[in-house]
Amino acid sequence: MNIIAILIPVALLLGGLGLAGFIWSIRSGQYDDLEGAARRILIDEEPDEELLDVSQEK
Amino acid sequence: MPNGHALRAVPVGADEHALNLLVEGVHCANCIARIERTLGAREDVTEARVNFSTRRLYVRWRGEADAARVIVDTVEGLGYGAIPFDPEILASQGSEESKALLRAMGVAGFAAANVMLLSISVWAGLWSDMDASTRDFLHWLSALIALPAIAYSGRPFFRSALAALRGGHTNMDVPISLAVILAATVSLIETIGGGVHAYFDASITLLFFLLVGRYLDLRARAEARRSAERLLLLRATSALVETENGSVSYVAVEDLVPGMIVRVAPGERFPVDGEITRGQTEIDASLVTGESLPQAAARGVSVFAGTMNLIASVAVSVGRIGDDTLLAEIVRLIEDAEQGRARFVRLADRVARWYAPAVHILAAATFAGWVLFSFVGWQVALLHAVAVLIITCPCALGLAVPVVQVVASGRLLKRGILLRSGDALERLAAVDTIVFDKTGTLTMGRAVLTNGDEISDADRTVAMQLAAASQHPLSRAVLRAFGAGRPPADAREVPGCGVTATIDGSTWRLGRRGWCGAADRPVMGRGSELWLSRDGVPVAGFTFDDDVRPDAARTVDTLMARGFQVELLSGDRREVVDRIGEALGISQRRGGVSPTEKVARLRELEANGRHVLMVGDGLNDAPALAAAYASMSPAAAADVSQIQADLVFQGDLLAPVATALEVGRRANRLTMQNIGLAIVYNAIAVPFAMAGFVTPLVAAVAMSSSSLLVTTNALRLKREYADGGK
């Protein structure tokens, strides 16, 4: 049963990491605009001119 | 010269300014990208960020406040409405509150997951060889995680329960707080005494689920509050004031006084209620009257704050300002009506009203019974009492209503109907009277050319070209009918008259009857008209009408056949209302009704015991939508009306009204069944708990199976539709 002396702290640590991440995400305003994030993924990146040149050379 | 928008810019840091804007017309990712990239491409702009949820834009730039004008013009140039606002005025407390709830939810979720992990080990230990010391150790660990988490995450409930008790009444948070605190305390006592019955998992999990529900509820309410804020912002923020010596300057709207003369450019909203003193224009008064076609206005005509000046600059003498304007009156009506609706008690809350005391009495009776009629001692008696509290934990009951709502709203969404408020389905089920607005609800809400077939091809080509040079709603209707032409180079819009241009050597005019020399021609059609003239000789007349939705008559018939009382209330002229009502077979109808009168009529129906579904779209309908027992809006409606409505439907058809009512009835039947099931569950489980047979494991199994039962029952709504599709 000694294994639980390791496993329980590990479980708590992992859970705590998740919690810390969640609180950080609230702090940094990631819940301020929930709909916006879902739409922004559809915005195309500005075409990068250097990359464009390379692809045209092919 | 300082401009109106610069008044709203706030300094940031040493050399920067920032502006908060409400943007109208942002629909998709492209809109976000266009606004942010266009602004970001400017040298001086350091930050431009659109918040899609709140439709707000934050811009920060280097340099003077005056650049605000250019920023606003840039956004408007992209085709979006932009209204600067003062963030201090629009309370942001909602977002603080929601962040606090989210943090509480996170902590509760973390603790619930870990405590549950430990609990499962303890349960497994019931069958295996776990010794008492290991069990105690796991219990202590659970206590260490659960107790601080309960103290932190439970605060929203404890606070609300305390406030209720201090005020001398009770709410649902009182039994919740009591159950959570009692369960935690008894578990702690058990743990200290080395006992078997610890319920830390139950209390923290209960808290977690309740917090999730509370957060979703808060988000829905924040959206409603934003709608009222947006409405107030339709008021202009500044006005161009003329002084006696003829010079002009920008003044913030709050500083205007009655009697001042303000100048209003075409495309701007009137900042005040007042009277036109100079100039001639057309006004889009749909905000106030719901009338979709523009109205001519000249000297002496009254105008209202929030309505739009369409074609020419006019001077207006300031009459009423701020809170005295008609717009502010509409906002007040909406707020009053919302308070009225808040009095509606949801089914779940009505059940909770007798459920909570019943649970408390049963738990108390259990404790008293065990103390009086047995020799087990008060600790065990208390433990049995807590088992009663926990096994009745309103899980099944709490799920009975929301699960049906989730399934029903998914069902409605597939048919293009968006359910906007959680308890709307319940209210829909009780509806027996339907009140329709006319413009934009029974009709499509836009002018449609009715005699396109009578126009010759040559005239058609000219009309297309001229109409392309104008933004007037009737010109746009011409373009919709014929397609867009290329506007002639010398096309010119004459305020209040129409468009004129030279094509192939002749002077053509497209516009008002008198201006095109057609004053003596017979009146055509029933709605608005436009004339086309060549060198002063009228050659063709165009008539326009607002089209009735294609299935309006059928839907109204269906609804009447199902026994609903159907009524038509419109701000439009009586003749028009009579004609549409006649065509659709609605005998109960009224025209020329103001927003206040609409609300009064709804109140009258309510007093007669009717449950009214209001279907409307205009801002003038917003108070009525908020006042009605239930309400629906088409997706093309004004933002504010959509947000007041319980349901929003898409497309050109009216059939969704009938569909929504049907789904509401079915959903309500399922909810009732679910509550019945939850009660049956409690009737079986509670006696066992009172008799002291319930261990934590039994409680866990019983609670999950009852939850599964109500969820499965709710899913039947989906299946019934898949089979019959009635």
Question: What's the CA gap between B576 and B527, in Å, rounded?
Answer: 9
Q: What are phi and psi of B615, to 5 degrees?
A: -115, 115
Contact A33 B107 (CB under 8 A): no
| A43: nearest CA partner in chain B | B29
| Contact residues, chain B, for A43 at CB < 8 Å | 29-30, 32-33
| Contact residues, chain A, for B41 at CB < 8 Å | none
> What beta strand segments (E) does B202-280 contain?
238-242, 248-252, 261-264, 273-278
CA-based max dimension of chain B: 113
B128 reaches A (C-beta below 8 A) = no
Residue B511's closest CA among B294, B309, B278, B302? Answer: B294
Select the residue of B30, B53, B110 nearest A34 (Cβ to Cβ): B53
pLDDT by residue (tens digit) across B450-473? 887 888 888 888 888 888 877 677
Question: What's the CA gap between B69 and B3, in Å, rounded?
Answer: 7
| A40: nearest CA partner in chain B | B29
Between B488 and B219, the more confident residue is: B488
Q: Is residue B517 part of a domain?
A: yes
Domain containing B293: what range? 238-324
Q: Residues A46, A48, A53, CA angle at the centre, nearest 5°?
A: 140
- C-alpha distance from A5 to closest chain B C-alpha (Å): 11
| Contact residues, chain B, for A45 at CB < 8 Å | none
Contact A8 B141 (CB under 8 A): yes
Q: Is residue B177 part of a domain?
A: no
Select the residue of A1, A18, A41 nearest B134 (Cβ to Cβ): A1
**DSSP-derived secondary structure letter, B619:** G
Select the residue of A11, A15, A33 nearest B51 (Cβ to Cβ): A33
A3 reaches B (C-beta below 8 A) = no
Mean pLDDT over B570-584 rounds to 83
pLDDT by residue (tens digit) across B267-280? 777 888 888 888 88
Which two three-digit tokens encode residue A6?
């390791």
Q: Is residue B541 part of a domain?
A: yes
- Tabulate helix, strand, coil % of chain A (nearest 5): 70, 0, 30
Select the residue of B29, B33, B114 nearest A12 (Cβ to Cβ): B114
> What beta strand segments (E) does B134-267 contain?
238-242, 248-252, 261-264
> Contact at 8 Å (CB) between B433 and B565?
yes
> What beta strand segments (E) does B462-610 contain?
492-494, 498-503, 506-511, 529-534, 537-548, 565-569, 588-590
> Contact at 8 Å (CB) between B191 and B138?
no
Between B480 and B226, the more confident residue is: B480
- C-alpha distance from A52 to closest chain B C-alpha (Å): 20
Of B53, B56, B96, which to mutate for an interface test with A (greatest number of A Cβ within 10 Å)? B53
A18 reaches B (C-beta below 8 A) = yes
> Contact at 8 Å (CB) between B107 and B48?
no
Question: What's the CA gap between B426 and B646, in Å, rounded?
Answer: 11
Confidence band for B722, pLDDT divided at 50, 70 and 90: very low
Q: Is residue B720 part of a domain?
A: no
Q: What is the 3-state secondary structure (H, E, C) of B347-376?
A: HHHHHHHHHHHHHHHHHHHHHHHHHHHCCC
**Contact partners, residue B456, CB within 8 Å, separation at least 6:** B540
pLDDT by residue (tens digit) across B88-125? 655 555 577 788 889 999 999 999 999 988 888 887 87
Q: Is residue B188 part of a domain?
A: no
Q: What are phi and psi of B412, to 5 degrees?
A: -65, -40
Contact A19 B110 (CB under 8 A): yes
Contact A22 B99 (CB under 8 A): no
* Separation of first and last alpha carbons in chain A: 64
Question: What's the CA gap between B366 and B390, in Å, rounded?
Answer: 13
In the predicted structure, residue B672 carries a pLDDT above the cut 80:
yes
Q: How many CB pairs under 8 A join A and B?
A: 59
Q: Which single residue is written with the structure tokens 């009216």?
A: B654
Q: Which of A34-48, B150-164, B256-270 has the highest mean pLDDT?
A: B150-164
Select the residue of A8, A12, A26 nearest B99 (Cβ to Cβ): A26
Q: Which of B201, B273, B437, B621 is catalytic?
A: B437
Q: Residues B201, B203, B207, CA angle at the centre, nearest 5°?
A: 115
Quote the pLDDT of residue B723.
43
Kindly give the pairing relationship between strand B433-436 and strand B612-615: parallel
Between B367 and B644, the more confident residue is: B367
A10 reaches B (C-beta below 8 A) = no
Question: What's the CA gap between B657 and B647, in Å, rounded?
Answer: 9
> Contact at 8 Å (CB) between B545 and B450?
yes
Beta bridge mates, B654: none
Beta bridge mates, B49: B58
Question: What's the CA gap between B238 and B247, in Å, rounded?
Answer: 16
Residue B59's closest CA among B71, B70, B51? Answer: B71
- C-alpha distance from A22 to closest chain B C-alpha (Å): 7
Q: How many domains does chain B have?
A: 3
**Contact partners, residue B469, CB within 8 Å, separation at least 6:** B475, B487, B488, B491, B492, B493, B499, B501
How high is the mean pLDDT of chain A?
77
- Last residue of one domain, picked from the residues B279, B300, B324: B324
Contact A32 B53 (CB under 8 A): yes
In the predicted structure, residue B725 carries a pLDDT above the cut 50:
no
In the predicted structure, residue B395 carries a pLDDT above the cut 70:
no
A8 reaches B (C-beta below 8 A) = yes
> Contact at 8 Å (CB) between A20 and B10?
no
- CATH code at B86? 3.30.70.100
Scanning B54-113 for CB atoms below 8 A from A yields 54, 95, 98-99, 102-103, 106-107, 109-110, 113
- C-alpha distance from A28 to closest chain B C-alpha (Å): 11
Of A2, A14, A17, A39, which to mutate for an interface test with B (greatest number of B Cβ within 10 Å)? A39
Axis crossing angle, helix B132-153 with helix B155-166, rounded to the nearest 10: 60
Which two three-digit tokens encode residue A26?
């609230």
Contact B102 A31 (CB under 8 A): yes
Cα B62 to the chain's mean position, in Å? 37
- Last residue of one domain, picked from the residues B324, B359, B376: B324
Question: What's the CA gap between B296 and B275, in Å, rounded?
Answer: 14
**DSSP-derived secondary structure letter, B323:** G
Contact B95 A32 (CB under 8 A): yes
Which two three-digit tokens encode residue B658?
């009938």
Q: Is residue B527 part of a domain?
A: yes
Quote the pLDDT of residue A46.
65
Reduce the DSSP state of residue B283 to 3 states and report it: strand
Axis crossing angle, helix B93-125 with helix B200-233, rounded to the nearest 10: 160
**Contact partners, residue A3, CB within 8 Å, separation at least 6:** none
Confidence band for A51, pLDDT divided at 50, 70 and 90: low
Q: Active-site residue B572, yes or no?
A: no
Q: Is residue B224 part of a domain?
A: no
Contact B52 A26 (CB under 8 A): no
A35 reaches B (C-beta below 8 A) = yes
pLDDT by residue (tens digit) across B54-98? 778 889 998 888 888 888 888 888 878 777 776 665 555 557 778
Q: How many domains does chain A have?
A: 1
Axis crossing angle, helix B173-192 with helix B378-391, rounded to the nearest 10: 140
Beta bridge mates, B494: B498
| Contact residues, chain B, for A44 at CB < 8 Å | 33
> Contact at 8 Å (CB) between B598 and B577?
no
A5 reaches B (C-beta below 8 A) = no
pLDDT by residue (tens digit) across A2-35? 787 888 889 899 999 999 999 999 888 888 777 7
Beta bridge mates, B498: B494, B511
A9 reaches B (C-beta below 8 A) = no
Question: What's the CA gap between B174 and B196, in Å, rounded?
Answer: 27
Question: What's the CA gap between B552 and B564, in Å, rounded?
Answer: 15
Q: What are phi and psi of B283, to 5 degrees?
A: -120, 135
- C-alpha distance from B102 to closest chain A C-alpha (Å): 8
Kindly give the pairing relationship between strand B565-569 and strand B588-590: parallel
Select the residue of A4, A16, A36 nearest B50 (Cβ to Cβ): A36
- CATH code at B496? 3.40.1110.10
Query: Which of A4-13, B209-218, B323-332, B389-398 is least confident?
Result: B389-398
pLDDT by residue (tens digit) across B681-710? 888 888 888 887 776 556 666 766 776 777
| Contact residues, chain A, for B118 at CB < 8 Å | 8
Contact A23 B50 (CB under 8 A): no
Contact A26 B103 (CB under 8 A): yes
* Separation of first and last alpha carbons in chain B: 65
Q: What are phi and psi of B530, to 5 degrees?
A: -135, 150
Of B92, B99, B144, which to mutate for an interface test with A (greatest number of A Cβ within 10 Å)? B99
B134 reaches A (C-beta below 8 A) = yes
Domain containing A8: what range? 3-57
- Last residue of one domain, picked from the residues B90, B117, B143: B90
Of B114, B119, B142, which to mutate for an interface test with A (greatest number of A Cβ within 10 Å)? B114
Contact B53 A33 (CB under 8 A): yes
Contact B51 A22 (CB under 8 A): no
